[in-house]
Amino acid sequence: MDRIGVYLELKDGNVKPTNFELLTLVQQAGREVTGIMFGDDPASVLAGVAEYRVNELVHVGGLGGDGYKPEVWAANLADVIRERGLGDCLATCSAQGRDLFSRVAARLEAALVNDCTSVDLEARTATKPMYGGKVIARIRMTSDCRLYTLRPNSIIPAPAGGGGAPEVIPLKAGTVASGIEIREIVKDIADKIDLTEAKIIISGGRGMGSAESFAVLQKLAESLGAALGASRAAVDAGYATQDMQVGQTGKTVNPVLYIACGISGAVQHFAGMKTSKVIVAVNKDPEAPIFEKADYGIVGDVFEVVPLLTEEFGRALSE
């Protein structure tokens, strides 16, 4: 049986944890993996995936670092897929994975399903939420090459252990004329946790009342290693920045735990976070629709409840 191509996305030279979901998916389907990486250093990647079975690692180098160059990477990845005859390829549905795979799909005229929540490699079928998560679609692909990007936190990683180090296949990247020049990457806060990949999210709504009061959520987020999100109402009111917005016209998130603070729970917000495994609501209005969607709720003032929560989590985590 053909090997499954897995595009290994790196962050600062290291394998992102979301890749473990892809490797687990392939292992559980009983298939072998061709890992594909771009960058200078396969050693850190090999160390990163040591717990998982990767049968071979295609290392595309000679591009001067591991900074994403959209057209150059897409052309090279399309070549690797074509030349190695990979029928099915997986990536993480991140900003980079989605952009890269959509460009590759265009080049290969391949079918692509972005934002899958499950993939059946045998049936060449994937499920994905549509209409902001109001329905789940099952999509079958019938092209010679099939591409999937997987929503983070869709699969619980299960290390398969001790498969031995994969064979590394070094490839020198082909030169590609590109009309895209990357001038600069600006990071506002180093190592901020990505909302779409976060395991825990603390989110604030209009009920927070001001930008300053998000500090109370920040404290809770820090104690839990969580990312900070916001509703559209909070973003529109200027309490939170655009990149924090969760919802149908913001980010779609899929954490294990989502704590909604001062969020009433509009359908558009729910669309962006409904697949969260556990939803907690804190709101002073007992009639707020968020309580219908939450697994656990506390009716009360965010500014009383959240500091208590921070304290209590701190105590529980130190035990």
Distance CA 98, CA 113 (A): 10
> Of 65, 131, 170, 172, which lies in the binding site for other proteins, with binding defined by CB under 8 A?
131
- Binding track, positions 38-57, relative to other proteins; x by CB under 8 A: --------------------
Q: Which of residues 75-94 bind other proteins (CB under 8 A)?
A: 94
Whose Cβ is closer to other proteins: residue 184's or residue 212's?
184
Distance CA 166, CA 24 (A): 16
Q: Which of 147, 157, 105, 97 is nearest to 124 (CA)?
A: 147
Q: How far is the CB of 163 from other proteins (least distance, A)?
A: 29
**Does 114 contact other proteins by CB under 8 A?**
yes
Q: Which of 71, 91, 75, 93 is nearest to 83 (CA)?
A: 75
Q: Which of residues 144-203 bind other proteins (CB under 8 A)?
A: 178-189, 192-195, 200
Part in contact with other proteins (CB under 8 A); list of ranges 25-33, 36-44, 48-56, 140-148:
140-148
Relative orientation angle of helices 95-108 and 70-83, to the nearest 10 degrees: 60
Whose Cβ is closer to other proteins: residue 55's or residue 102's?
102
> Of 245, 260, 262, 263, which lies in the binding site for other proteins, with binding defined by CB under 8 A?
245
Q: Which of 133, 154, 114 is nearest to 18 (CA)?
A: 154
> Of 61, 71, 163, 168, which lies in the binding site for other proteins, with binding defined by CB under 8 A?
71
**Does 14 contact other proteins by CB under 8 A?**
no
List CB contacts of 208: < 8 A, sequence separation 6 or more. 214, 217, 234, 239, 261, 262, 302
Whose Cβ is closer to other proteins: residue 161's or residue 188's?
188
Distance CA 57, CA 165 (A): 9
